[in-house]
Amino acid sequence: MDMNQYLDIFVEESREHLQSLNSSLLELEKDPADKGVLNEIFRVAHTLKGMSGTMGFTRMQRLTHHMEDVLDALRNDRISANSDMVDILFKCLDALENYVNTIVSTGDEGNEENKGIVDALADILKKGGLPTKSAKSSGRKAKSKPSDEKESKEVEVAQAEAEAAAGSEIGLVELNQYDINVIRKALEAGMNVFQIHVEFDKGCLLKSARAFIVFQILEKNSEIIKSVPKVEDIEDEKFDFEFTVVVVTSNDQELFEREINSVAEIAGVHILPVTAEMIGVSAEEIQETAEKTGGASRPEAEGVAAQTAQETIKKAQKAGKTVRVDIDRLDVLMNLVSELIIIKNGLDNQINAKDSNAWSESIEYLERVTTNLHDAVMKVRMVPVEAVFNRFPRMIRDIARELDKDIELKMSGEETELDRTVIDEIGDPLIHILRNSADHGIETREERKRLNKPPVGSIYLRAYQDGNNVVIEVEDDGRGIDVGKVRKKILEKGLETPDIVETLSEKEVIDYLFKPNFSTADKITDLSGRGVGLDVVKTKIEALGGTVEVETRMGYGSKFIIRLPLTLAIIQALLVKIGSEKYALPLSSIREIDNIKFSDVKMVRNREVIMLRDMVIPLVRLNEVLEVKDAIPDEKKKYLTVVIVKKGDKLSAFSVDSLIGQQEIVIKSLGKIMQGIKCIAGATILGDGNVALIVDSNSIAV
Amino acid sequence: MAKALGKERRQYVVFQIDQQEFGVDIHKVSIIEKYMNITRVPTTPAYIKGVVNLRGEIIPVMDLRIKFGLPSKEPDDDTRIIMLKFNDIALGVIVDSVAEVVDFTEEELESVTSITNDRTLDYVVGIGRIGQRLITVLNIEKLITELTERE
């Protein structure tokens, strides 16, 4: 069966399930007696197992199965949860996530068996006074909860197909291209391929246990490449009194006949050697390749399956980027598009009517619809920050355990929405800041006790919308930034001379933390302090069109404030003229526009500044920065038009020749050749088809 | 035209700059446009004239006269912008006029060692002959890759 079309859904849903498992496990750790959470975990794990089984990701399925055993024991009070156990379960989730990631990039789950985790899980059961399970406990799953219905239905379908395939008794089971490739490779390598059909006594009671023994024999002597029904279904007793497997082996037919027949309650074993002709490959072809490869020796054939798997990986579809969209939002889009069509028809009728009133009315209507359409499309791209936030509780827990600190993460505003592209990029910077807070900010237990602080350190992660921006704050109640220490560091690194360091304000000193290779950590821990850090955070956030600031108070903690634009592709901008050229300034960074008398332009420390309502604001001559040659000289102007731009809490005044007006603009990239131009953030296309550049006010402002 | 000698014939778009004839591989030409309004981009080298809007896409445009150190010339009715594309990177080049499409085999392109001594030499694949005419075939890959590595 070709499963590729379901791959995207599988990946998406697996991630959701893993995420929900992560948060449930955290809850469980807090309250190990909570049966509701346990049941939820069990249910999700079970679904995950079913899903991976259906997709044929057996390693993933096996791991979830072992995990489920532990969860089941927990649920039945045979063992009780503790942090170490939760640690192992978390590791299990990480391993599962790795499988999913491998599936995303290669289309296959890879070869990692995660033996260590499986053993650890088995250990838990052992320590809980339980024998490690040999034959799988059955029945339980069949009786599971109603929520499993979907899964079992899928299994039933698979089984029905399997039965249909097995119906032809002695004939070859249905093989897909992958199986055929494996068989072909095996034959080329001179291995034997057998189809083994096993029938149990009709009176056999523990048929899955019997099947298990048969599988053990098979696994010992060969490699099973196909099983009908699937191994998992056999384990769960979801099969009649017979099953068929295809194996690749270096052993001969007699060995299997003898060994399998030695198992009790077996009614019959039919072994059918699979030949090249049966899989539609001519024997000569195989002979040829076998000669070419110099007749690959037998032991090597073990790797044959892996090798062919690798080949299919390359062919396998890769999972793409998707956004889940609320159906209501799509309805809005649909409605707007139908309105567009109505307008178009209206305009068609008016072409001959020459009624200019109706014409401009239609244009206004059109404008309204396109604005709404834009809004609606942007909303489709919006994703709640929860998508990034939800992995942090787990992360903070792990860090806290690693550092042996008590840390609680308090989150709010998870429903705040951001553009999908921003969501994808913002994770790493946030991880970095959170780690910083946990590692450098929050004190050790003893220190907190000594300082009379609450024993559990708190990190707050907040998101909220503020005008056209989304603000994300990371605040901790730890020790705060030692500004004196940073000053010392600036001197040590020789970044500034002592007299300049003296004059730096607290804010300016803290800004140095965002400079490359600037780490104040006394000791290098695994988490932070390796000199790559906040500068990367800053670069990333600025690349997204955002800003980052820090507020701190010694002894009371620090707060990182990240501001991000709501959307990326379309912005409100002010169009200005400098000489004959037109430029766009993002409206979000503009505070006000003023006409300044030339007498209010002063020189301070060799820099031009303007005096505005008792404020001294540095003046930036845009025509100079942008190298405009035909700008209007001051002498020809009555006053100086300035656009006051804010960067963080600092203001700059940009001089322009004249204002054109406010406009919604679509941001276009300048492409690879032009990237890296400091003062330009992008380009846009104006109504007349000409290109106007977007001024990067952040990099120009002083 | 020279006879085919078993070798694969490639087509080249021939254009003129300052009385000289140049050729570019036709597979790297996406479209040829009339001269249009170019928006200057600050802090770029002089040979980058700016960017143009080509059906919603922003494309940088290079003045080959400046790049090759030839005297500059005001655009006229014959001026064309040849839109090139290599490795998904688009670049427009301003030329005096576009003449025709010719084909050469690889063997027919003479290598250049001492024929020219100007700045074009770095970007030349070879010289093709059509009767008395000499057509300098340009290395577009190099021209474009070099721009992206400028940073």
Give me the residue spans of the domains in chain B: 9-148
Q: Which residue has the higher pLDDT, A595 or A233?
A: A595
Q: Could you give the CA distance from residue B46 to residue B68 in angstroms, rounded to a whole number? A: 12
Q: How many CA atoms lie within 13 A of A692 on its CB side?
A: 26
Query: In 3-state terms, what secondary structure has residue A201?
Result: coil
pLDDT of residue A601: 87
CB burial of residue A20 (10 Å; 0-12, 13-18, 19+)? middle
Give me the sign of the Cα torsion angle A543, A544, A550, A556: negative
Determine the residue of chain B that is closest to A670 in CA distance. B58
pLDDT of residue A141: 38
Q: Where are the beta strands (DSSP E) in A58-109?
A: none
Q: Could you give the CA distance from residue B62 to residue B67 in angstroms, rounded to a whole number? A: 8
pLDDT of residue A576: 93
Cβ distance of B51 and A670 shorter than 8 Å: yes
How many Cβ atoms are within 10 Å of A409's Cβ, its own excluded?
24
Q: What is the mean pLDDT of residues B130-146?
A: 85
Written in H, E and C, the secondary structure of A463-521 is EEEECCEEEEEEEECCCCCCHHHHHHHHHHCCCCCHHHHHHCCHHHHHHHHHCCCCCCC
- B91 touches A: beta carbon within 8 Å: yes
- Using the predicted structure, report yes or no on whether residue A22 has a pLDDT greater than 50: yes
Which of A628, A672, A689 is opposite residue B89, by nearest beta carbon? A672
CA distances from A79 to A73, A124, A127, A604 (A): 6, 8, 8, 75
Pairing of strands A691-695, A581-586: parallel
Cβ distance of B44 and A674 shorter than 8 Å: yes
The band of A479, judged by pLDDT with boundaries at 50, 70 and 90, is: confident
Q: Could you give the CA distance from residue A433 to residue A393 in angstroms, rounded to a whole number? A: 14
Q: What is the mean pLDDT of residues B91-117?
A: 79
Q: What is the mean pLDDT of residues A244-273?
A: 80
Q: Was domain B9-148 assigned CATH 3.30.830.10?
A: no
A50: enclosing H helix or E strand: helix A35-55
Cβ distance of B59 and A671 shorter than 8 Å: yes
Share of chain A above pLDDT 90, in %: 8
- Using the predicted structure, report yes or no on whether residue A34 has a pLDDT greater than 90: no
Which CATH code, of 1.10.3720.10, 3.40.50.300, 2.40.50.180, 3.20.20.140, is assigned to A570-700?
2.40.50.180
How many Cβ atoms are within 10 Å of A449's Cβ, its own excluded?
12
Most B CBs within 10 Å: which of A582, A629, A672, A678, as the mutation test of the B interface?
Answer: A672
- Topology of domain A385-565 in CATH is Heat Shock Protein 90 (3.30.565)
- Using the predicted structure, report yes or no on whether residue A242 has a pLDDT greater than 70: yes
Q: Tokens representing A249? A: 């082996």
Q: Could you give the CA distance from residue A162 to residue A167 in angstroms, rounded to a whole number? A: 8
The band of A4, judged by pLDDT with boundaries at 50, 70 and 90, is: low
pLDDT of residue A301: 44
Q: What is the mean pLDDT of residues A283-307?
A: 47
Give me the residue spans of the domains in chain A: 4-133, 152-315, 327-383, 385-565, 570-700
- Please report the ipTM that was assigned to this predicted complex: 0.86
Radius of gyration for the alpha carbons in chain B, expressed in angstroms and rounded? 15
- Using the predicted structure, report yes or no on whether residue A649 has a pLDDT greater than 80: no
Of A16-30, A293-307, B11-25, B122-136, the range with the highest mean pLDDT is: B11-25
Q: Could you give the CA distance from residue A144 to residue B101 in angstroms, rounded to a whole number? A: 74
- A674 touches B: beta carbon within 8 Å: yes
Q: Could you give the CA distance from residue B50 to residue A628 in angstroms, rounded to a whole number? A: 13
The band of A97, judged by pLDDT with boundaries at 50, 70 and 90, is: confident
pLDDT of residue A619: 92
pLDDT of residue A353: 66
The band of A302, judged by pLDDT with boundaries at 50, 70 and 90, is: very low
Give me the sign of the Cα torsion angle A633, A634, A636, A640: positive
Q: Tokens representing A157? A: 């379908």
- Catalytic residue list of A: 46, 68, 436
Q: Which residue has the higher pLDDT, A35 or A412?
A: A412
- Using the predicted structure, report yes or no on whether residue B6 has a pLDDT greater than 90: no
- Using the predicted structure, report yes or no on whether residue A5 has a pLDDT greater than 70: no
Condensed to tens digits (0 to 9), the pLDDT of residues A36-46 reads: 888 888 888 88
Q: pTM to 2 decimals?
A: 0.48
Written in H, E and C, the secondary structure of A684-702 is EECCCCCEEEEECHHHHCC
Superfamily, domain A4-133 = HPT domain (1.20.120.160)
Residues sharing a CB contact under 8 Å with residue A110, sequence separation 6 or more, in sequence order: A59, A98, A99, A102
A389: enclosing H helix or E strand: helix A386-389
CB burial of residue B23 (10 Å; 0-12, 13-18, 19+)? buried
Condensed to tens digits (0 to 9), the pLDDT of residues A117-138 reads: 888 888 888 776 444 333 333 3
Q: Which residue has the higher pLDDT, A555 or A469?
A: A555
Q: What is the DSSP string of A613-640?
A: TTEEEEEEEHHHHTT-SSPPPGGG-SSE
The band of A143, judged by pLDDT with boundaries at 50, 70 and 90, is: very low
Cβ distance of B42 and A668 shorter than 8 Å: no
Q: Which residue has the higher pLDDT, A690 or A531?
A: A690
Q: Considering the domain delimited by A152-315, tell me its CATH architecture.
A: 2-Layer Sandwich (3.30)
- Using the predicted structure, report yes or no on whether residue A393 has a pLDDT greater than 50: yes
